[in-house]
Amino acid sequence: MSLSVTLDNIGLKKGYNLLISNLNLEAKNGDAISLTGQNGVGKTTLLRAIAGFFSPFAGKISASDDSGPIEPVRFRTELIHYLGHQDALSPTRTTEQELRFQAQYLNANENNYQFAVQYLNLAPLLDLETRLLSAGQKRRVSFARLLIAQRPVWLLDEPMSPLDADQRDVAARLMQDHLSDGGIIIAAVHDPLPFETRIVHLTRPDVKAQEAALVD
């Protein structure tokens, strides 16, 4: 199946601030894109817009496969994984409860759950309440979601930052496997990912564009 995600001349606002303007981007099967740029330039906002959490202020984000354009709702609810800053774990529930919930909620099968636990070596963490986990451990638990429900487009926000060297290797292998299976990765990063990616450097729009956006 061929899948492509296209950002067509999009502009994004946060509050009244124009963060991104006239951005064009196309991602196809096997593409890994690194979004770079200084803090506050809009990397997270862009990822959240692609995930469909809100609509861009200008332009269009679309996806299509062999059979034509994909409806935004289907794209969001069936084809996307979003891993944000927050690890989306309830502090009072155990790792196992959270992972099993995610598996059921995202309609994954039991084998994937077992595979994810094994791949990321989560077995020692399963019985712990997630509030007891370190930042790196939480991130590993978040990564499990990518394996539990198989979805082609991964939107990752600073995926590597809390991980130690060994776990970075595991995560890098995970991502490379996904790419060779025809997946798409769009990641916001400060340190480059340890494999070849297309780098998209985000910069602030010039003052004229920012002022023009204020009027709209």
By CB under 8 A, name the binding residues for another protein: 51-54, 76-78, 80-82, 84-93, 97, 101-102, 104-107, 145
CB of 196 to another protein, least distance (A): 27
CB of 155 or CB of 174, closer to another protein: 155
Q: Closest approach of Cβ 147 to another protein, in Å?
A: 15
Residue closer to another protein by CB (options 166, 216) is 216
CB nearer to another protein: give 68 or 91: 91
Minimum distance from residue 94 beta carbon to another protein (Å):
11
| Minimum distance, C-beta of residue 201 to another protein, in the bound complex (Å) | 25
Three-class DSSP labels, the chain: CCEEEEEEEEEEEECCEEEEEEEEEEEECCCEEEEECCCCCCHHHHHHHHCCCCCCCEEEEEEEECCEEECHHHHHHHHEEEECCCCCCCCCCEHHHHHHHHHHHCCCCHHHHHHHHHHCCCHHHCCCEHHHCCHHHHHHHHHHHHHHCCCCEEEEECCCCCCCHHHHHHHHHHHHHHHHCCCEEEEECCCCCCCCCEEEECCCCCHHHHHHHHHC
For another protein, which is the closer residue by CB, 57 or 119? 57
